[in-house]
Structure 1
Amino acid sequence: MQRKLSIFEGYLTLWVFLCIGIGIVLGKVAPSFAKFLDGLAIYVGEAPVVSIPIALCLFLMMYPIMVKIDFAEVLKAGKSIKPVGLTLFVNWAIKPFTMYVIAYFFLGILFRHLIGTNVLDYVKMPFGLDLPVGAVHGDGTVVMYEGTKMLAIPLWRSYLAGAILLGIAPCTAMVLVWGYLARGNDGHTLVMVAINSLTMLFFYGPLGGFLLGV
């Protein structure tokens, strides 16, 4: 007997877009609450490294699926070299570079004038970096903004950086969700999530720095 999707599972795409819309509206009508949520994080120095609300939501999303996995299947899946190797190759040798090309085409060429070529974004300087006002770092210039040294960079470059960083990161939590909904091999899915999470520790930083030019 095939398992039928619940209403929540069947309309998952709708809920995703609904949450995106709620987040946008919340940021507009209650920016202080959005900043409060953003501040709920684990910090290293002055840099937030782990968002507690996001970590909690990811746990709640993954836990129901994790408890249903047959770990005997996990051991079998771990011995399947070909799908694991293919996934790693696509994740780190193809996907980041195709994402860079797509993002640059849309944000750096097609929509660049729509975003505004002279519109600036002010971002914090990299952790541990202290440059004088007027110094150039990458595509940014160090300026004083609201009493703090910040990097002033073109807004389209910020969008491009965000798209690149998002494209580099292999999806983890949602892989479990989509694999479960597609009635895939949960054991193999769990192995791939674990391997993706492990390889991110080694490849994400260097590859991100290379594509961003920092």
Structure 2
Amino acid sequence: MDVTGTDRRTSGSPAVMARLSLLDRFLPAWIGLAIVLGLTLGRLVPQLNTAVQAVQVGSVSLPIAAGLLLMMYPVLAKVRYDRLDSVTGDKRLLVSSILLNWVLGPAVMFALAWLLLPDLPEYRTGLIIVGLARCIAMVLIWNDLACGDREAAAVLVALNSVFQIVAFAGLGYFYLQVLPGWLHLPQQALQVSVWDIARSVLIFLGIPLVAGFLTRTLGERLRGRIWYEQRLLPKLGPFALYGLLFTIVVLFALQGDAIMSRPLDVVRIALPLLVYFGLMWSLSLLFGKRVGLGYERSATLAFTAAGNNFELAIAVAIGVFGATSGQALAGVVGPLIEVPVLVALVYVALWARRFFRASND
């Protein structure tokens, strides 16, 4: 289904594009407008930053937290929770996701950061932190738009959440201190509370997950599955992208001054991010095809491996290095690059479906 609830899973790419809602069809334009609006607000209303940051959920400002929760809830309300056993039993998918997210992803970002930013240690450290924060939020939107496996996305996001709590601090120590020491490179300390990471996961995944599960369970029990999927979901669906656009506006309003005042630094940070997103997505999609996952689960694997948890990366960078640090700026530039690139990859994924069908014929 698209965000309006229309079933698109069996359609070809041209048919999918023709049947998209107005909101879906011009999503890149809406995202571009949201970015411009956010940057403009940040420049024209400098006191907005202080007002928005005044109230926080965890270490994330309340408006961003509200946008993230609004964005994730409709997608998780679409998940067929009675089908999750078919995903948890797919060992190829689960093992592939762990290897791509927690072995390959951080290693690729570490390599790109050192290769492309050898003279900018603050930005380099910020990018490595971004690489360690695996996506648990926006990936649900990209996966849904690309007609990926919704149930698989829910399971992989939950898996990333568990690994994020358990592994983030340890991987930060390894990639910022141990590995640079082995390679005789400068080292950087990173002190991160496991509870802070767990709290972020519980808020930004736990709340919408419980809400989505209860909505489907109670909705189907009271009114039946047909009413739920044909009447309720089409009304809930668009709020996912409303939440996405609102989040983008607020995020760039908060960081607009830093981005606009250092354009050359943004370009330097953007280059490894562009390479990272494109490389991780392409390798993951091809890997999924190679191991026989089929299009839907290969697309889910690709988007979960390519996306990053920018809210956690920014929160960690600000908490450890300060709001005006280069590490924090690198975290902020992350979604500036990730959002348009992964939107573009949604269209690439829809085009690539034909090759999965051809291999199955």
* TM-score normalised according to structure 2 size: 0.42
Is the helix fraction higher in 1 or 2? 2
> Aligned with 2:138: secondary structure?
helix
Q: 1:179 aligns with which of 143, 149, 166?
A: 143
Which fold has the larger relative contact order, with Cα–Cα distance below 8 Å and residues 6 or more apart in sequence? 2
- In the TM superposition, residue 27 of structure 1 has moved relative to its aligned partner by 2.5
Task: Find the counterpart in structure 2 of residue 137 from structure 1.
Answer: none
- 2:91 corresponds to 1:81: yes
Which letter does structure 1 place at the counterpart of 2:168? Y
Count residues in correspondence: 163
* 2:128 paired with 1:167: no
Closer/same/farther in 2, CA of residues 8 and 86 from structure 1, 3 Å limit: same
For structure 1, which runs of at least 5 residues remain unmatched after alignment?
44-48, 110-155
Q: Of 80, 104, 113, which residue of structure 2 is paired with 1:70?
A: 80
Q: CA deviation at 1:23?
A: 2.8
CA RMSD of aligned residues (A): 2.1
1:17 is matched with: 32
Q: Is the 8 A contact 1:96 1:167 kept in 2?
A: yes
Question: Hey, what does 2:103 align to over in structure 1?
Answer: 93
Further displaced range: 67-76 or 192-201: 67-76
Which residues in structure 2 correspond to 1:1-214 (within 5 Å)? 2=8, 4-42=19-57, 49-109=59-119, 156-212=120-176, 213-214=188-189
8 Å CA contact retained: 1:172, 1:193:
yes
Q: Classify 1:17/1:160 alpha carbon distance in 2 versus 1 (closer, same or farther; 3 Å).
A: farther
Structure 2: stretches of 5+ with no match in the other structure: 1-6, 9-15, 177-187, 190-361
- The separation in 1 between residues aligned to 2:132 and 2:90, in whole angstroms, is 24
Provide the rounded CA distance (Å) in 2 between the counterparts of 1:80 and 1:61: 27
d(CA) in 2 for partners of 1:66, 1:53:
20
**CA 1:175 to 1:52, structure 2 compared with 1: closer, same or farther past 3 Å?**
same
Which structure shows the higher strand fraction? 1
Q: Could you tell me whether the CA contact under 8 Å between 1:62 and 1:176 is conserved in 2?
A: yes
| TM-score relative to the length of structure 1 | 0.68
How far apart, in 1, do the equivalents of 2:122 and 2:50 lie?
A: 19
Identical counterparts, % of pairs = 31
Which runs of structure 1 show a deviation greater than 4 angstroms over 4 or more consecutive aligned residues? none
